[in-house]
Structure 1
Amino acid sequence: MEGEDSTTLNIDQFETMFRRNHQFLCAVAMQYVHDQFAAEDMVQDFFIDFWQRRHTIQLTTGFEAYARRAVKYKCIDFLRKSAVTEKRNSMLAALEEEQEHHDEQEYNEIRHQRYIKIVELIQKLPENRQNIFIMHAVDKMSYAEIAKKQNISINTVKTQLSRAYSALRNHAILVFIAFSSLSGRF
């Protein structure tokens, strides 16, 4: 199209230019972006832009030189935007990882404080009830095993466990509410 005025470009001429130069321009773009799909996108964007601005573009060189330069600049712009996006994504990933680590530490601290409170509540139980509770909840002993070991009836074991769980449940609800308001997550 060298020497031709681009304002007289019709669709048939444009299609001929496209077919004649598409592969060459994709190769030019590949030298910059090293990605076939991105290269094809750059070339397609160039041709769309060229068609839309065909009435205002004044070619001072041949079409191939103009197109090569335009595709080159489109690729450079694409690479700049990709680098900025990649840098932002890296920064966001680092911030998210830091926040997750902080949240995990906070969660573990709250769990630890709850554990301490539960241990304190268990320690406030009467000694006999506390021993029966620990044998059942921690040592996983059956009612019969506890009754035999403590030399008490199974009904006494059931009563003591019921009272222990009731006391712990009542106090644990208060502990849970206190920690929930602190953490804002539970």
Structure 2
Amino acid sequence: MELYSDKSLVNLISESNYKAFTVLYDRYWRQLYRIALSKTGNEEDALDIVQEFFIDFWNRREALKIEKSVDNYLVSALFHKIFMHFRKKGLEEKHLQNYTYFISQLDGDTLASNMETEHEEAYTELIGLVTDTIEQMPEKMKQVFDLKHRQSLSIAEIAGIMGISTQTVKNQLSNAMIKLRKSTEKQVPGAASSLFLIWLFS
């Protein structure tokens, strides 16, 4: 079962196959943990977020509808879980200023600590837009972006793996961020879009 595709595993999980769930968990938990850790800056919080994420994933198994790649779905859903973590804790983490500014651009009279349901929905919609934009990137750009921001590899490591120059890696990352800024600026004006992406991929 370890050789099954992600989509095949999800199909089995939706039928309550726990073995398939453990295989998917083993395949992705380290990647998701690294992302959660980079956003929270706290190992215990990151571990709790990822554990809760997979518990929710299993509990919702019969209702799973994954149209994009499973990888993108998991990362997108994890960001929503991280968002809820910050909201629950009053956003008293290292990215408070970025979050406050981002939300204030959606509603100038509302502080991040008082976000309402519509702000949560706006954030979720933005995450979906970002993951869709990544999915539509040229293959090489998407691979470079994935290695940098999801696998947390250095530019030199990416260049070595892909057999390209470090400058090419930098160019691909720069072009990827340009694409993401253009797509998010449709919903979030000016500097707020850049701050949102800085938070998401720092």
Is TM > 0.5 for Structure 1 vs Structure 2? no
The alignment's TM-score, normalised by the length of structure 1, stands at: 0.42
The alignment's TM-score, normalised by the length of structure 2, stands at: 0.39
User: Which structure has the highest helix share of the two?
Assistant: 1
